[in-house]
A and B are shown apart, each in its own frame.
Chain A
Amino acid sequence: MSKPLNIIVCGSLVPDPLQTLEPVSTPQGPGLKNEQMLPSVLDPWAACALYEAAALAKTRAGSKVYLVALGPKAKLQQLMMTVAQKVPFELIAANGPAGGFTDAKETAEELAKLIKSIPNLDLSSTLVFGGCASASRDAGVTMPFVAEKLGINEFFAGVDEIKVADDDSFTVLERIEGGKYLSSTCKGFPAVVAWATGSLPEPPNNPQVGMMNMRGVMPALMKAPVVNVGSGTIAYEKTEVPSAKRDTVVKKDMSAEAIAQEIVEWIKG
Chain B
Amino acid sequence: MKIVAFTQMESNGTFAQDVPLFADAIKASGADIVIVPGTSRFKRSMPAAALRAGADIDTNVTDVTVEGETVKAQRWAYRQRILATFSRTGRPWVIVTDPALFAEISAKLGVSETKEFGAGAGDTRTTCNGVQAAGGGGESTIRPDAKLLFVAGAGWTKKQADGELHLADAASSITTFLGKSGASLGSSKSLVDMPEAAQAFNFMSHMNQVGQTGSTPRHAKGLSTCCHGEEPHVVGRRFINERRAINLDANCGWAQGKADVVYVADAFEVMKKINEMM
Chain B neighbourhood of A232, CB < 8 A = 56, 90
- Say if the beta carbon of A158 comes within 8 Å of chain B: yes
Binds A, one of B24-32, B111-119, B205-213: B205-213
In the complex the two chains form, is B125's CB within 8 Å of A186's CB?
Answer: yes
A18 engages B232 (CB within 8 Å): yes
Q: Indicate whether A44 reaches chain B with its CB closer than 8 angstroms.
A: yes
Interface centre among B43, B56, B89, B243 (most CB of A within 10 A): B43
**Whole-angstrom distance between the alpha carbons of A14 and B79 in the complex?**
11
Chain A, residues 199-229, CB within 8 Å of chain B (1/0): the string is 1010000000000000000000000000000
The B124-140 residues at the A interface (CB cut-off 8 A) are: 124-134, 140
| Smallest Cβ-Cβ distance to A171: which chain B residue | B129
* A181 CA to B40 CA, complexed, in Å: 10
Chain A residues whose CB sits within 8 angstroms of the CB of B90 once the complex forms: 232-233
Contact of A175 with B40 at beta-carbon distance under 8 Å, contacts A144-B47, A266-B244 already known: yes
Chain A minimum-CB-distance residue to B40:
A176
- Does B264 touch A at the CB level, under 8 Å? yes
A154 touches which one: B16, B51, B82, B129 (CB < 8 A)?
B16
Which residue from B16, B78, B140, B230 sits with its C-beta under 8 Å from A180? B140
A175, A181, A254 — most chain B CB neighbours (10 Å)? A181
- Name the residue among A178, A240, A242 with the largest chain B CB count within 10 angstroms: A178
Q: Is the CB of A21 within 8 A of B82?
A: yes
- Residues of A in contact with B, size category: 35 or more
Q: B60 touching A139 by the CB < 8 A rule?
A: yes
Please tell me the size bucket of the interface on B.
Answer: 35 or more
Residues of A within 8 A of B244 (CB): 263, 266
Q: Is A183 in contact with B128, judged by CB distance below 8 angstroms?
A: yes
In the assembled complex, A37 has its CB within 8 A of some CB on chain B:
no
Residue on A with the closest CB to B243? Answer: A246
* A1 is an interface residue with CB less than 8 A from chain B: no
Which of chain B's residues has its CB closest to A149's CB?
B51
Q: How far is the CB of A101 from chain B (nearest CB, A)?
A: 6
CB–CB A235/B130 < 8 A: no
Q: Given the complex, which residues of B lie within 8 Å of A177, measured CB to CB?
A: 39-40, 144
User: How many A-B residue contacts, CB cutoff 8 Å?
Assistant: 260
A138-B60, A140-B60, A182-B131 known; 19 new pairs, CB 8 Å cut-off, are A17-B235, A137-B77, A139-B60, A144-B44, A148-B51, A154-B14, A154-B15, A173-B132, A179-B134, A181-B131, A183-B131, A196-B206, A235-B88, A246-B257, A248-B255, A248-B256, A262-B263, A267-B148, A267-B223
- Which 3 pairs between the two chains have the least Cβ-Cβ distance? A179-B142, A260-B273, A233-B90
Binding site for A on B (CB under 8 A): 12, 14-16, 19, 39-40, 43-45, 47-48, 51-52, 56-60, 72, 75-79, 81-90, 124-134, 140-144, 148, 181, 193, 205-209, 212-214, 221, 223, 230-232, 235, 238, 242-244, 246, 250, 254-266, 269-274, 276-278
Question: What is the interface of chain A, defined by CB distance below 8 A to chain B?
Answer: 14-15, 17-18, 21, 23, 30, 44-45, 100-101, 105, 135-141, 144-145, 147-149, 153-158, 160, 171, 173-188, 196-197, 199, 201, 232-242, 244-254, 256-257, 259-264, 266-267
Q: List 28 A-B contacts (CB under 8 A).
A: A17-B79, A18-B232, A101-B77, A101-B84, A135-B78, A135-B213, A138-B60, A138-B79, A144-B44, A154-B125, A155-B48, A181-B133, A187-B125, A197-B206, A197-B213, A232-B90, A235-B86, A235-B89, A236-B84, A236-B86, A237-B87, A238-B85, A241-B82, A256-B265, A259-B270, A260-B270, A263-B244, A263-B246
